[in-house]
Amino acid sequence: MNKRRVVVTGMGAVTPIGLGVDEFWKGLLQGKNGVGLITKFDTTRFDTRFAAEVKDFNPEDFLDKKEIKRLDPFNQFAVATALMAMQDSGINENGTDKEKFGVIYGSGIGGMMTLEKQHWVYFEEKNPHKISPFFVPMMISDMAAGQISIRFGLKGPNYATTSACATSSHAIADAFILIQRGSADIMMCGGSEAAITEMSIGGFNAMRALSTWNDRYREASRPFDKDRNGFVMGEGAATLIVEEYEHAKARGAKIYAEIVGIGLTGDAYHITAPSPSGEGASRSMQAAIEDAGIRPDQVDYINAHGTSTPYNDLTESIAIKNTFGEHAFKLVISSTKSMTGHLLGAAGGVEAIATILSIMNDKIPPTINLDNPDPECDLNYSAKIVTEKKINYAISNTFGFGGHNASILFKKAGD
């Protein structure tokens, strides 16, 4: 039986370097740096005082005032990007079978800001009756999927993914599988994160995962550089609308790219560190290539997980070499986290959009701040330049704490 083809027909993004897909892409090509000093709380006692915050986001552009009070920022970002993606897709809501239109939408952490605020509400008076009745639905990670489903009346498959940094790539992969098997014709998928909070920054500092370059914070996100010393926290969201190819064609949809392969693996190694050999990441990429039915040497670009941590960048480079052999030195790699910071559960969605736009425009965004390449990271990372290259196939990699690996393989649109 022939598998149903799956294409991307709508996109929306809220990122530290731009609101909306056009501004995001413009920022990527300009090498825009989204990192700045944290404005959300007093960082005086924190080891890290900077992050990649979303700028100029006005929730009133997307939600009414009552809704805003009842939605954690991660939910606000999610709904905003869903509205963008729906408008972008040109879907006729009244002419669409909503029982075949679903939502899979994730968050690595969920409503962390709400959790912290309500924690203090309780502990100030030790009175549980002071806790907001909206506390739980504002906090839980699945509520982005729920809110989007309710907003548009989407009655198809509806749930959340949570797999740390691989969260929204798993959402895209699940949406792809459900459409392939005929459980849905259209899926809205992606991820959202708003975790620049005291407990998040303090917690990641405690495990020594974040960069502490407070005097050089603009240069702190530096994937594959020998001086890298941790990731930079980011926030934002991305929504993709994926659709069965014939369904999209029948309604005259614009098609951004086709999803042709997914690779999902587990390291089974450590709670935070990747397998030193990169074998889990390698198997993930290999599985995506095999799923697509192409040769490794047909892949032109990899949007790397590229977190700017000592272990990830090295093991991902090893994994790419093990997967592609000599071709690893011919394809181009870049890490857009050098500009956006690490959006945790939203990273896969934002980077899927970056990968798709790279394919469409035959342009690969730079890896900024890559001043002194690690000798062991010896591939072409599009260091500080936009690389112009014909791209027919590209992979977006995301790897999460717990050993979760996801690779999504996209193909240029067209028969």
Active-site residue set: 165, 305, 342
Q: Are strands 18-19 and 6-15 parallel, antiparallel or unpaired?
A: antiparallel
Q: Which two tokens stand for residue 176?
A: 């792809």
Q: How far apart are CA 182 and CA 293, in angstroms?
A: 21
Of the candidates 1, 2, 5, the one whose C-alpha atom is nearest the C-alpha of residue 245 is 5
DSSP, res 97: -
Helices (H), 328-405: 337-340, 347-361
Cα dist from 311 to 277, 316, 321, 407, whole Å:
10, 8, 16, 19
DSSP, res 129: G
Q: 144: Cβ–Cβ under 8 A, 6 or more apart, which residues?
A: 74, 75, 78, 79, 105, 106, 107, 160, 191, 192
- Which helix H or strand E contains 148, and what residues bound it? helix 143-152
How long, in residues, is the chain?
A: 415
